[in-house]
């Protein structure tokens, strides 16, 4: 049996060629360059593919002197150990200052000298006192000896004894007097030195009190510093715990492993000339090393796969200018990577395609005859047979289920996280056998799963306890991962991620369906006090872009010399835009330069394009019957070659940020409208309707009434200098009874269907003249529209008067 030569590669060490992001998923292509093969069967194993990958989408291609004979894809436990990849720091930074040695107080040398002198004098005084005491004691001994001579019976030489007594007593007295004199002198000296000591001690106490005060102040300052360090250390620990939690969010419990079996066989090409014969002198014996080198081959492989949890979504920033009727749209893309992989230094392409076609397994539906009959009276039916058939309801349910089924994936809690329970010894044995993988490509798996800073994703992932058999294939581990106390925390972020994917999916589907009505609630809720700066001002060209490439030193010096006289415009930061390409019904945006996408719960923002629009049409609509306000809308024609996808947009009007709204899908050459909220420059007055009895009812013997509604519009922008177009909508009741008649009196002739000139000045006198023009038009269902062109600083009254005719005693009610 031939030997199977095995090689293993970690996916993290393989370079990423391209990453194509779709609205709900991503396609990744990685390269394995210069794979060394030996003659015969070779097995190449690639481990570490994110568990969110689509197993059926994994493809392997390549080039070289080999044949791919088999490809096997398996979902295996992640053999990397989280604690080894991200070890805890052994040398924790000690923020505490430790045992602070208090400074020894400075010694007062003068005071110490005096104290030493006092000590010496005290010793001398003690010696002198001892000498005096010795003299006294000797005298007592001498007196006792003399007294003892009288009791002796022997003959005593009194003269010699007395003389001896005299001499000895004189010596003793001399010693005693000398000691007393020395004692007095020493006591005097000690007194002087003690006085000096007390004086120096007072000075020492004052100096020490001052030092203690300064030391207490310094101690308080050090305590503040230590407290600050403790807070910083606490923040560092929090940040460390946050980073660890983020890493756990994208640490895969399982990874896809791809085993590729190749058959490498070499061949020796024959001579180009059939008749040529090799010379014997040219034959050389190959060494063993050369023979081994000749028996190896190389090939290049590429592996591609689709993965969920990675997508892109459009976002916009729209800046409009009412003075120049222009707009600038910044088209940005939010890139999201919530897989376990880091795609480093790769080309990133944004595609509007879904990268998957649904319904390939279904045939074109065939209509079934819709047969109906009259139901039994008094019997209730669940559905109205005249609205939808049973087949229609069933097909609709199947269609919705099929559309929502393909993006469903395994719970992320089962795919990501870190297990705290140590594996069995058998598992460690398998890890030890798997570890020595050959990695010809630079890089380790440790770098793969290190996401950058990101917002905490909650409990979708995280530390879990395994308790029973499950994804790892171990009988002692559980299929359900995650600690019970973390389940409540895991549900909210998981729902947020699924909701984001669902929104992206719905957005992609709506691109091929009818355009949804734009959500303008946020803009309508803007306060009327939000104003626009209508004064004339100098504005930069909206499509102006400045690069930051520095000039020569001479230019910079000359600019510095002329800085006092010439004021240069501050350069603006510019963005690199994407390359746009269209392939059939799909539009691709290739981002400039190479990018690195790390796993993160938050999205990164990338500029796709910057588009300028001209001839923006601003219109105002007033429905005073409901709200006395003028709602501003902008109609923009997409003159670019880009197709604007549906997404959220920030709206800035004349330099004032209004909020965020929804931008509808708009193809190239098409137009779209966007609501800008209430225009505070247009004042709307709508008093209560006036009611009076009609004179025609006397002759017709009916109950006739005339209703008058007046709408007053005031253009408060005097400095604008140009008229504004306003559409005013009102209505008259529509009769559903032949006995009830509705006749429009003012504007006269409105029932004819043609446009009628109308409008009266809002002010009397010369100020009310030249207010502009207005026409009225009867629309469907009793709706009356006024098209008004109102000059700056002027006002106009719009009157709608109608008559209701009904029989006497009857009353008008709404249907």
> What pLDDT does residue 2 have?
63
pLDDT band at 182 (very low <50, low <70, confident <90, very high): confident
> What pLDDT does residue 83 have?
87
Exposed/middle/buried for residue 780 (C-beta within 10 Å: 0-12, 13-18, 19+)? exposed
Query: In this predicted model, which residue has the larger pLDDT, 532 or 65?
Result: 65
Measure Cα distances from 239 to 338, 453, 454 in Å: 21, 10, 11
Query: In this predicted model, which residue has the larger pLDDT, 263 or 573?
Result: 263
Most confident of the following: 135-149, 436-450, 456-470, 509-523: 135-149
> What pLDDT does residue 289 have?
46
Give the least confident one: 247-261, 503-517, 597-611: 503-517
Residue 280 φ then ψ, to 5°: -65, -25
- pLDDT at residue 621 above 60? yes
Measure Cα distances from 448 to 49, 83, 242, 251, 615 in Å: 10, 15, 18, 10, 50
Give the least confident one: 546-560, 712-726, 794-808: 546-560
Residue 493 φ then ψ, to 5°: -65, -35
Q: Cα 233 from chain centroid?
A: 24
pLDDT band at 461 (very low <50, low <70, confident <90, very high): very low
Q: What angle do CA 265, 268, 272 make, to 5 degrees?
A: 145
How far apart (Å, rounded) are the C-alpha atoms in residues 51 and 252? Answer: 7
> What pLDDT does residue 419 have?
65
289-322 pLDDT, tens per residue?
A: 444 555 678 899 999 999 999 999 999 999 999 8
**Mean pLDDT, rounded, for 760-774:** 86
Q: What angle do CA 476, 480, 483 make, to 5 degrees?
A: 95
Boundaries of every domain in the chain? 111-249, 683-807
> What pLDDT does residue 331 have?
93
> What pLDDT does residue 179 have?
85
HSE at residue 474, side-chain half, CA atoms within 13 A, is 22
Give the least confident one: 37-46, 60-69, 94-103: 94-103
Cβ atoms within 10 Å, residue 538: 4
How far apart (Å, rounded) are the C-alpha atoms in residues 405 and 42? Answer: 39
Q: What is the mean pLDDT of the chain?
A: 75
- H helices of 586-735, in order, are 697-700
- pLDDT at residue 435 above 80? no
> What pLDDT does residue 65 have?
82
Query: In this predicted model, which residue has the larger pLDDT, 812 or 518?
Result: 812
> What pLDDT does residue 117 have?
87
340-367 pLDDT, tens per residue?
A: 999 999 999 999 875 444 455 566 777 8
- Tokens 């393909």 belong to 406
Q: What angle do CA 113, 116, 121 make, to 5 degrees?
A: 125
Q: Cα 456 from chain centroid?
A: 9
- 716 in Cβ contact with 682 (< 8 Å): yes
Give the least confident one: 31-45, 697-711, 747-761: 697-711
> What pLDDT does residue 521 have?
36
Give the least confident one: 417-421, 612-616, 651-655: 417-421
> What pLDDT does residue 137 have?
81
Query: In this predicted model, which residue has the larger pLDDT, 431 or 733?
Result: 733
- pLDDT at residue 804 above 80? yes
> What pLDDT does residue 503 have?
53
How far apart (Å, rounded) are the C-alpha atoms in residues 797 and 774? Answer: 10
Q: Cα 574 from chain centroid?
A: 22
Which contiguous run of DSSP H or E holds residue 44?
strand 40-49
- 50 in Cβ contact with 415 (< 8 Å): no
- 745 in Cβ contact with 758 (< 8 Å): no
Share of the chain above pLDDT 90, in %: 35
- pLDDT at residue 536 above 70? no
**Mean pLDDT, rounded, for 19-34:** 93
183-214 pLDDT, tens per residue?
A: 888 899 989 988 888 888 899 899 889 999 99
pLDDT band at 647 (very low <50, low <70, confident <90, very high): very high
Q: List Cβ neighbours of 16 (8 Å cut-off, separation of 6 or more).
A: 28, 29, 30, 31, 343, 344, 345, 346
> What pLDDT does residue 752 have?
63
pLDDT band at 54 (very low <50, low <70, confident <90, very high): very high
How far apart (Å, rounded) are the C-alpha atoms in residues 411 and 402? Answer: 19
> What pLDDT does residue 72 have?
94
- 709 in Cβ contact with 784 (< 8 Å): no
> What pLDDT does residue 336 have?
94
- 790 in Cβ contact with 805 (< 8 Å): no
pLDDT band at 279 (very low <50, low <70, confident <90, very high): very low
pLDDT band at 588 (very low <50, low <70, confident <90, very high): confident
- pLDDT at residue 454 above 50? no
> What pLDDT does residue 266 have?
56
DSSP 234: H
């Amino acid at each position: 049996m031939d030997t199977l030569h095995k090689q293993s590669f970690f996916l993290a060490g393989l370079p990423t060629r391209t990453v194509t992001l779709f609205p709900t998923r991503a396609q990744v292509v990685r390269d394995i360059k210069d794979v060394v093969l030996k003659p015969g069967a070779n097995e190449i194993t690639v481990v570490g593919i994110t568990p969110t990958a689509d197993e059926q989408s994994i493809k392997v291609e390549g080039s070289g002197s080999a044949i791919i004979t088999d490809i096997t894809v398996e979902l295996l436990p992640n053999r990397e150990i989280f604690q080894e990849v991200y070890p805890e720091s052994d040398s924790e930074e000690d923020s505490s200052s430790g045992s602070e040695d208090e400074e020894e107080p400075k010694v007062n040398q003068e005071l110490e000298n005096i104290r030493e002198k006092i000590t010496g004098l005290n010793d001398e005084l003690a010696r002198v006192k001892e000498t005096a005491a010795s003299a006294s004691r000797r005298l007592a001994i001498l007196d006792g000896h003399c007294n003892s001579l009288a009791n002796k019976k022997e003959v005593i030489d009194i003269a010699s004894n007395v003389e001896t007594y005299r001499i000895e007593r004189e010596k003793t007295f001399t010693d005693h007097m000398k000691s007393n004199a020395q004692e007095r002198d020493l006591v005097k000296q000690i007194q002087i030195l003690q006085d000096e000591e007390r004086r120096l001690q007072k000075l020492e106490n004052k100096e020490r009190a001052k030092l203690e005060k300064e030391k207490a102040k310094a101690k308080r300052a050090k305590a503040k510093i230590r407290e600050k360090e403790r807070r910083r250390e606490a923040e560092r620990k929090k940040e460390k715990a946050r980073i660890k939690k983020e890493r756990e969010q994208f640490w895969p419990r399982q990874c896809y492993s791809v085993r590729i079996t190749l058959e490498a066989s070499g061949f020796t090409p024959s001579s180009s000339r059939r008749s040529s014969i090799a010379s014997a002198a040219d034959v050389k014996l190959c060494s063993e090393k050369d023979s081994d080198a000749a028996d190896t081959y190389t090939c290049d492989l590429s592996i591609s796969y689709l993965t969920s949890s990675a997508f892109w979504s459009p976002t916009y920033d729209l800046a409009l200018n009412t003075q120049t009727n222009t707009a600038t749209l910044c088209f940005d893309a939010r890139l999201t990577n919530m897989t376990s992989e880091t795609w480093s230094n790769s080309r990133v392409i944004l595609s509007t395609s879904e990268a998957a076609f649904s319904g390939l397994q279904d045939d074109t539906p065939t209509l079934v005859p819709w047969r109906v009959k009259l139901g039994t009276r008094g019997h209730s039916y669940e559905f109205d047979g005249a609205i939808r058939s049973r087949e229609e309801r069933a097909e609709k349910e199947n269609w919705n289920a099929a559309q929502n089924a393909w993006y469903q994936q395994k719970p992320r809690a089962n795919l990501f996280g870190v297990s705290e329970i140590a594996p069995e010894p058998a598992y460690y044995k398998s890890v030890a056998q798997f570890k020595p993988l050959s990695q010809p490509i630079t890089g380790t798996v440790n770098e793969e799963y290190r996401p950058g800073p990101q917002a905490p994703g909650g409990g979708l992932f995280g530390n879990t306890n395994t308790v029973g058999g499950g994804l790892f294939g171990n009988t002692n581990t559980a299929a359900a991962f995650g600690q019970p106390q973390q389940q409540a925390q895991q549900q909210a972020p998981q729902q947020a991620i699924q909701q984001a994917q669902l929104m992206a999916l719905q957005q992609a589907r709506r691109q091929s369906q009818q355009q949804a009505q734009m959500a303008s609630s946020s803009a309508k809720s803007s306060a009327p006090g939000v104003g626009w700066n209508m004064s004339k001002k100098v504005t930069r060209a909206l499509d102006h872009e400045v690069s930051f490439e520095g000039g020569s030193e001479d230019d910079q010096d000359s600019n510095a010399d002329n800085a006092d006289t010439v004021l240069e415009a501050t350069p603006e930061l510019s963005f690199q835009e994407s390359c746009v390409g269209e392939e059939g019904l799909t539009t691709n945006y290739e981002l400039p330069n190479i990018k690195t996408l790390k796993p993160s719960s938050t999205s990164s923002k990338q500029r796709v394009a910057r588009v300028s629009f001209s001839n923006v049409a601003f219109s105002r609509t007033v429905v005073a019957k409901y709200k006395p306000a003028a709602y501003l809308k902008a109609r923009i024609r997409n003159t670019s070659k880009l197709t604007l996808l549906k997404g959220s947009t920030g709206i800035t009007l004349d330099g004032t940020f209004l909020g965020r709204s929804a931008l509808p899908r708009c193809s190239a050459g098409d137009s779209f409208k966007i609501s800008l909220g209430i225009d505070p420059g247009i004042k709307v007055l709508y008093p209560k309707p006036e009611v009076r009895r009609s004179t025609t009812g006397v002759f017709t013997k009916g109950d006739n009434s005339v209703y008058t509604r007046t709408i007053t519009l005031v253009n408060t922008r005097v400095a604008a200098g140009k008229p504004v177009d306003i559409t005013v909508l009102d209505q008259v009741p529509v009769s559903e009874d032949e006995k009830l008649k509705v006749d429009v009196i003012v504007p006269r002739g409105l029932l004819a269907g043609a446009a009628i000139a109308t409008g009266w000045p809002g002010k009397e006198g010369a100020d009310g003249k030249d207010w502009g023009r207005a026409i009225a038009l009867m629309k469907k269902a009793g709706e009356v529209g006024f098209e008004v062109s109102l000059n700056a600083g002027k006002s106009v009254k719009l009157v709608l008067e109608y008559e209701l005719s009904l029989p006497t005693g009857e009353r008008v009610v709404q249907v």
